Amino acid sequence: MNITSKLLAVLACASCAATLFGTATDVPVISDVTFNQSGGGFPVTVTYNLQYAPAIVTVDVLTNGVSIGADKVTHLQGDVNKVVQAGAHQFKWFAKRDWPGHLITDNSVSVKLTAWSLVEPPPYMVADLETPSNVTYYVSAEAIPGGVTNDLYKTARLVMRRIDAVGVRWNMGRHPTENGYTSSRPQDQIHSVQLTNDYYIGVFELTQGQWKRIAGFYQYSDVTTDGVREVYPLQYVAFTEMREAAPVSSGNPPALDSNSSYIFPAPPAPNSFLGKLSSLTGVAFDLPSECEWEYACRAGNYGAKWGDGSLIQLKGGADAGEDTNLTRLGAYKKNADFIQPVGSYEPNSWGLYDMHGNLWEMCLDWFGVDITGLDGAVNPTPPSNNRRVDRGGAKHSTQYQCHSAYRDSDNPEGRSLGIGYRLVSRIAQ
């Protein structure tokens, strides 16, 4: 039995698309949608026409006008959840796998297609680390096949969460009411900042499994058991190896002139880990600036709060005791003796895991002690130094060091078992 649905195409971010492609007629539009099935729920075939401009096309399935849920529309094949060019397209939905026990036999079931502008993409992006140029997009964590916490997305895939930051002015730094504030320390002072790009940021810290699929070997780590190590965070990799030099399996990374070679925003070198990752996926990856990192870590939760909005419970400095709210969010001195698999604790309010604790995350910026001069800055970058900024704390850190605003630093040419990485991909505006 064939069913032709009524047109349910949705236009996404028309103003953004017009800016990117030049005129209002270049806004992506979906038309001529058909919905065909046979055998009471065997593969449902959807055809559509995309007009005027490339777009990312996503799908929802409705029954009696109500969505059946994103988690029930994950087994898809064809031109959906990816960038598609203007023209005629089709995809299949394997309904019996996603929605068992339901017969699709009448007009109560329909599809809703959404065309997302390339400058206003969906909330989640997943890059395949085993198949070139295979990048998919999803409207929610629930829409990701198998769920975002599936080990697949910690090993053979890289899952990223979109952060809407354009035009948002917010207060970076430690507020006087927050834990560990010191009035005499310049880097604690609040300063207003703003970012110019939305960006995707890793839901998890970069793992050993993800590193191996790009570099071709496992890096030295606290966890060395094959099959287990894959979901543990990457350790013992220098900043220079991530962005500038080809990864090496032994010896020290090359000594480069850090004052001239790594200044933001120069892109990663083609033969670096990030360069190779970007080439494989077709997506420009980099490390976050500390402003991007802190904005994502806080997840809109300012004042004396952790990234999930829970209150920081303890005052005091480096010797303060356990904070039970922090204990839920990450591995640190009071609840862990070793690093933990990524995603072992609860996420922050924006669905990001291990922003507090586990491993320090090295950022793109130089470490400048006095950052009070950055007040009112756009895409702030601290003054040049010979060390890069670390954020988030680690498994050996106190709750004071795991604070969203706490800043530490390390030599970009050195390797450390306490340093890890989280990746970003900036969205062109």
- What CATH number did the domain enclosing 161 receive? 3.90.1580.10
| Residues 115 and 176 occupy one common structural domain | no
Helical (H) or strand (E) element with 61: strand 55-63
Give the pLDDT confidence score for residue 79 in this predicted structure.
Answer: 98
| Residues 52 and 181 occupy one common structural domain | no
Last residue in a domain, options 68, 94, 120:
120
Helical (H) or strand (E) element with 245: none
Residue with tokens 């899952």: 159
Give the pLDDT confidence score for residue 9 in this predicted structure.
Answer: 29
Q: How far apart are CA 421 and CA 407, in angstroms?
A: 15
Listed residue (63, 416, 32) closest to 221, CA to CA:
416
Last residue in a domain, options 98, 120, 142:
120
| Residues 407 and 319 occupy one common structural domain | yes
| Residues 211 and 298 occupy one common structural domain | yes
How many C-beta atoms lie closer than 10 Å to residue 17's C-beta?
A: 26
| Residues 168 and 22 occupy one common structural domain | no
Using an 8 Å Cβ cutoff, are 316 and 179 in contact? yes
Instruction: State the pairing for strand pair 2-3/29-36.
Output: antiparallel
Torsions phi, psi of 235, nearest 5?
Answer: -130, 170
Vertex 380 angle, CA 404 and 419, to 5°: 45
| Residues 312 and 173 occupy one common structural domain | yes
| Residues 315 and 367 occupy one common structural domain | yes
Question: Is residue 252 classed exposed, middle or buried when 0-12, 13-18 and 19+ CB atoms within 10 A define those classes?
Answer: exposed
Taking the alpha carbons of 297, 302, 303, 305 in that order, is the dihedral positive or negative?
A: negative
Instruction: State the pairing for strand pair 29-36/44-51.
Output: antiparallel
| Residues 90 and 145 occupy one common structural domain | no
Cβ neighbours of residue 234 under 8 Å, at least 6 residues apart? 205, 206, 207, 208, 210, 211, 219, 221, 420, 421
pTM attached to this predicted model: 0.88
Torsions phi, psi of 201, nearest 5?
Answer: -130, 150
Give the pLDDT confidence score for residue 307 in this predicted structure.
Answer: 96
Using an 8 Å Cβ cutoff, are 178 and 303 in contact? yes
Predicted confidence pLDDT, tens digits, the chain (429 residues): 233 332 232 222 222 222 232 333 478 999 999 988 765 556 889 999 999 999 999 999 998 889 999 999 999 999 999 999 999 999 999 988 999 888 776 567 889 999 999 999 999 999 999 999 999 999 999 999 999 999 999 999 999 999 999 988 888 888 777 666 776 666 677 888 888 889 999 999 999 999 999 999 999 999 999 889 999 999 999 999 999 875 544 333 333 333 333 334 578 999 999 999 999 999 999 999 889 999 999 999 988 899 999 998 876 555 667 899 999 999 999 999 999 999 999 999 999 999 999 999 999 888 876 666 666 667 766 666 788 999 999 999 998 899 998 889 999 999 999 999 999 999 987
Torsions phi, psi of 154, nearest 5?
Answer: -115, 0
Give the pLDDT confidence score for residue 370 in this predicted structure.
Answer: 67
CATH classification at residue 70? 2.60.40
The number of C-alpha atoms within 13 Å of 242 and in the hemisphere containing its C-beta is 28
Give the pLDDT confidence score for residue 64 in this predicted structure.
Answer: 85
| Residues 241 and 340 occupy one common structural domain | yes
Tell me the β-bridge partners of 410: 388
Q: How far apart are CA 213 and CA 198, in angstroms?
A: 27
Using an 8 Å Cβ cutoff, are 68 and 124 in contact? no
Give the pLDDT confidence score for residue 244 in this predicted structure.
Answer: 85
Last residue in a domain, options 87, 120, 153:
120
Query: Strand locations in 218-304, DSSP E?
Result: none
Give the pLDDT confidence score for residue 321 in this predicted structure.
Answer: 77
| Residues 154 and 43 occupy one common structural domain | no
What is the distance between the terminal CA atoms of the chain, rounded to a whole angstrom? 45
Give the pLDDT confidence score for residue 315 in this predicted structure.
Answer: 64
Residue 332, domain extent:
125-426
Structure tokens at 32: 């001529």
| Residues 146 and 293 occupy one common structural domain | yes
| Residues 269 and 297 occupy one common structural domain | yes
Q: How far apart are CA 119 and CA 123, in angstroms?
A: 12
Q: How far apart are CA 233 and CA 222, in angstroms?
A: 10
Give the pLDDT confidence score for residue 304 in this predicted structure.
Answer: 85
Total count of domains within the chain: 2
